[in-house]
Amino acid sequence: MLIIGIAGGTGCGKTTVVNQIINELPKEEVCVISQDSYYKDTSHLTYEERVKINFDHPQSIDFNLLGQHLAALKRGETIEQPVYSFVTHNRTQNTISTHPRKVVIVEGILILTQAEIRAMFDIKIYVHADSDERLIRRLKRDIAERGRDMDEVLDRYQNTLKPMHQQFIDPTKEFADLIIPNNNYNNVAVDIVRTIIKERLN
């Protein structure tokens, strides 16, 4: 099993890079695990209390459960991946059965912040994008997909996202084996990743 960690700031285009990689692989050989599925359970809090949580701080992520699940997949076991709702700011009652695959891609802004999790990755990738570009993408996504308004998104970006990026996310570049600039010229970097994957699989 090859486990690949793909990190980078919010709106940097991790999903695009993930899709570029997996599009060249047989579907039965790859699975994707999102860090967003592993936000800690906050059922004990009211909605008003959950809204105030800093979801861009490493403490918001259940890294213990993520580590347990990655270890289980490596042992050949199926896991039940949590399902998170960005509308209620909490896990739902549902889970996704995730089966072991030859390639497991883990993506999320904070996945390279934890030494124990980093150690489980065979390849560590950081996707880099300009901060203005990331803000624009975040605005479009949160308004269209997560029911947020512009003021809420901008306030969260200014008071939470930007300082957390500077404190926790950007410094994890140093742990990356490969830094991919998310622009129109990242095809070479993605091709390198695909080549490494194919060599490992063979």
pLDDT per position as a tens digit, 169-200: 999 999 999 998 876 556 788 888 888 888 88
Specify the CATH number for the domain of residue 55.
Answer: 3.40.50.300
Nearest to 15 by CA among 145, 160, 172, 170: 145
pLDDT attached to residue 38: 96
Please compute the mean of the pLDDT values over residues 88-92 and round it to a whole number: 86
The two beta strands, 2-7 and 90-98, are unpaired
Q: How many domains does the chain have?
A: 1
Please compute the mean of the pLDDT values over residues 21-47 and round it to a whole number: 90
> Looking at per-residue confidence, does 114 or 163 come out higher?
114
Tell me the residue range of the domain where 40 lies.
Answer: 2-201
Distance CA(113)–CA(168), nearest Å, equals: 7
Answer left, alpha or beta for residue 70, where phi above 0 means left and psi between -120 and 50 means alpha.
alpha
Distance CA(51)–CA(162), nearest Å, equals: 18
> Looking at per-residue confidence, does 67 or 155 come out higher?
67
**DSSP codes of every residue in 112-145:** TS-HHHHTT-SEEEEEE--HHHHHHHHHHHHHHH
Q: What are phi and psi of 4, to 5 degrees?
A: -115, 125
pLDDT attached to residue 181: 83
The two beta strands, 90-98 and 79-85, are antiparallel
Distance CA(14)–CA(33), nearest Å, equals: 12
Distance CA(19)–CA(6), nearest Å, equals: 12
Q: What are phi and psi of 80, to 5 degrees?
A: -110, 100
